[in-house]
Homo-oligomer: A and B are copies of this chain.
Amino acid sequence: MRQGGTDAVHDERLALRKRRPSLVDAACEHIRASILSGAHWPGSQLPTEAEFVDVLGVSRTVVREAVARLAAAGLVEARQGKGLFVSETARYQAFQITREEVENLSDVIQLLELRLSVETEMAALAAERRSEVDVMSMRQQLKILGEAAIGLDDSVKADVEFHNVIARASKNSYYAKLIDFLGVRLVPPRSLYLRQGQSYVGARYKAVISEEHEAILDAIIRRDPDAARVAARSHMSSSLKRHRDLQDFMSSHSPTG
């Protein structure tokens, strides 16, 4: 029947309500706790599925799904014919940022602070290591950004891509990964600009951004790490200031105080 049909998003809030913990949740927690408690060190063998079935009093299906979850999280590793093992990377939890955090403007500012530090050094590395192709890609994105009739979506896209190219030019894959990671997290707040009556997306705003981008690109072309650092810091600082101003504006005009 597929009751949801085309009206799948009929109630957003319902999706966020707390569900009572399932058996799989419980099994998951049991195994995770037994690992984090230190009873099993990385690389050591865990009890078998059958043993978990006995201890937890659930079916093998439940145990297997719990293991699937933990394996997906990189906490355990199942080896056919051998058994279940604590992953060597068990302590390597992911760097995660939840949706709730991002939707809070003050968190966005904190993220921008983090991004500032990353972008400055990344620009410096890019200045040292960039290739000619990298420079061409940067020029291309800035050209797109400079076009008069560009839409907001395309504008954001080109902006993000410009920074991605710098990340790649740094020849350090972790910068690229982190910037990509932080990038999608910083897209949502742009809707805030729109709510403010597009006061920030006017021509003057565009010109300022453009100048900042050009300064970064210039430094990278000249292979001048220090100048690139300064330019990138300046760019991110302005971005940060704009967000801070917005935060002040909203907190002084919001009905909730």
Q: Residues of B contacting A93 with CB < 8 Å?
A: 181
Instruction: Say which residue of B64, B97, B172, B174 sits within 8 Å of A174 (CB atoms).
Output: B97
Contact (Cβ within 8 A) A88 B121 = no
Contact (Cβ within 8 A) A96 B94 = yes
Contact (Cβ within 8 A) A83 B4 = yes
Instruction: Say which residue of B85, B88, B117, B122 sits within 8 Å of A122 (CB atoms).
Output: B117
Known: A88-B15, A95-B96, A99-B89. A72 touches B68 (CB 8 A): yes
What is the distance, in angstroms, from A101's C-beta to the closest C-beta of chain B?
8
Q: Residues of B contacting A111 with CB < 8 Å?
A: 174
A111 CA to B12 CA, complexed, in Å? 38
Most buried by B among A79, A88, A117, A173: A117
A134 at the interface (CB under 8 A from B): no
A55 at the interface (CB under 8 A from B): no
Instruction: Say which residue of B48, B102, B121 sits within 8 Å of A116 (CB atoms).
Output: B121
Q: In chain A between 60 and 102, which residues have their CB closer than 8 angstroms to a CB of chain B?
A: 61, 64-65, 68-74, 77, 79, 82-83, 85, 87-89, 91-99, 102
Most buried by B among A44, A77, A89, A95: A95
Q: Residues of B contacting A89 with CB < 8 Å?
A: 98-99
Known: A69-B72, A113-B172, A121-B117. A92 touches B45 (CB 8 A): no
What is the distance, in angstroms, from A232's C-beta to the closest C-beta of chain B?
10
Q: In chain A between 32 and 75, which residues have their CB closer than 8 angstroms to a CB of chain B?
A: 43-45, 48, 61, 64-65, 68-74
Query: What are 8 A-B contacts with C-beta separation under 8 Å?
Result: A2-B45, A4-B45, A8-B85, A15-B79, A92-B102, A92-B185, A97-B174, A110-B174
- List the 9 closest pairs (A to B, CB-CB), nearest first: A117-B121, A94-B94, A69-B72, A95-B95, A72-B72, A68-B68, A95-B181, A89-B99, A8-B45
Q: Given A8-B44, A97-B177, A114-B174, 9 more contacts at CB 8 Å? A: A2-B48, A4-B45, A64-B65, A87-B99, A92-B99, A95-B178, A110-B173, A110-B174, A114-B121
